């Protein structure tokens, strides 16, 4: 941020409707252009809030010393007021960014709830994730952030749960089919925790996202193959193998086309229309729950390949 010698810069939240602001405690500011004109908790004429974020020069110490001698006030706000009178305080509008003043237990609780609420609205979430998985995963992530667990470790754990579920599918009994289905849905919920923990711990990385996507593709293939094998060993119908193959390839094509499709169609199709991994794993779970593995594979083959073809056509029409 450009500044001249003797100037300081203050981050100001100009969102007067910010629900995270405690109006009884917040320090209010009056700005004019990029200059600070007044600051204080008791201001009645104000157009923003002090965020407590400063970029200072040594002039702040001179102002503090002056305030201590003249007014017996060593607060930062007093020093800023002195510099503002000399037109030496610039402001930067940080409206829209997550800023909250945490200085008591109630503010801490409010900040925690706000951070967790921000995790719930992920643009790429499908209907299953948004309405079922995400509320559960956020609750789990709330606990996980208290421990030294990394996002990549969570991704690996979700992958291992899926592989175990695939192994249970292949055994052949309804008991293992049901247990595998439950484990599949559990893995689907946990799959949302890695990104949530990464955001809460500031550990997001391109590699982490890529690793999660790679593990998801391996897990999907294993789950669908396990379900196919379960259905085939019970009926010995070669059509089941073809259906399983189509379910696997369709699932891969939906995942492969997801990023480009989302980028090209951003804002056009509603969130409720998105077909993704959350729906895929739910269908696997339901097929296991109702002992209908072949029906689940058949529906997946139709829905996933149909969605992939639809995306190709829609993107073609948009040039």
DSSP codes joined into one string, 41-52: TT-SS-SEEEEE
Rounded distance between C-alpha atoms, residue 177 and residue 183, angstroms: 10
Using the CB atoms, write b or e for 190-210: b if 16+ within 10 Å.
bbbbbbbbbbbeeeeeeebee
**DSSP code for 272:** G
pTM: 0.81
Fold of the 8-93 domain:
Spore Coat Polysaccharide Biosynthesis Protein SpsA; Chain A (3.90.550)
Which residue ranges make up each domain of the chain? 8-93, 106-317
- As assigned by CATH, the class of the 106-317 domain is mainly alpha
- Report pLDDT digits (tens) over 172-229: 899 999 999 999 999 999 999 999 999 999 999 999 999 999 999 999 999 999 999 9
| pLDDT tens-digit readout, 270-285 | 555 678 899 999 999 9
pLDDT at 265 over 70: no
Residue 269 predicted with pLDDT over 60: no
């Amino acid at each position: 941020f450009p500044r001249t010698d003797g100037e300081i810069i203050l981050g100001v939240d100009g969102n007067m409707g910010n629900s995270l602001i405690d109006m009884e405690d917040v320090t209010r500011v009056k700005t004019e252009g990029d200059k600070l004109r007044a600051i204080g908790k008791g201001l009645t004429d104000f157009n923003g809030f002090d965020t407590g974020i400063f970029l200072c020069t040594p002039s702040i110490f001179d102002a503090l010393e002056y305030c201590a001698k003249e007014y017996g006030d060593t607060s930062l706000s007093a020093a800023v007021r002195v510099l503002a009178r000399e037109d030496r305080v610039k402001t930067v509008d940080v409206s829209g960014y997550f800023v909250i003043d945490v200085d008591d237990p109630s503010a801490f609780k409010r900040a925690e709830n706000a951070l967790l609420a921000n995790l719930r609205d992920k643009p790429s979430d499908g209907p299953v994730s948004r309405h079922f998985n995400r509320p559960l995963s956020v609750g789990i992530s709330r606990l996980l952030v208290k421990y030294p667990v990394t996002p990549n470790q969570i991704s690996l754990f979700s992958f291992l749960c899926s592989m175990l579920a695939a192994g249970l599918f292949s055994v052949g009994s309804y008991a293992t089919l049901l247990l595998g289905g439950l484990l599949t849905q559990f893995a689907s919920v946990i799959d949302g925790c890695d990104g949530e923990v990464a955001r809460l711990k500031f550990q997001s990385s391109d590699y982490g996202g890529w690793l999660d996507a790679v593990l998801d593709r391996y897990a999907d293939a294993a789950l669908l193959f396990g379900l196919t094998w379960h259905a085939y060993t019970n009926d010995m119908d070669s059509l089941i193998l073809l259906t399983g193959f189509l379910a696997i390839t369709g699932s891969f094509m939906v995942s492969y086309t997801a990023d480009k499709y989302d980028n090209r169609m951003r804002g056009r199709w509603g969130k409720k229309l998105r077909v993704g991994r959350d729906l895929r794993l739910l269908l696997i779970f339901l097929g296991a729950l109702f002992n209908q593995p072949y029906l689940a594979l058949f529906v997946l083959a139709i829905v996933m390949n149909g969605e992939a073809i639809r995306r190709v056509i829609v993107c073609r029409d948009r040039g």
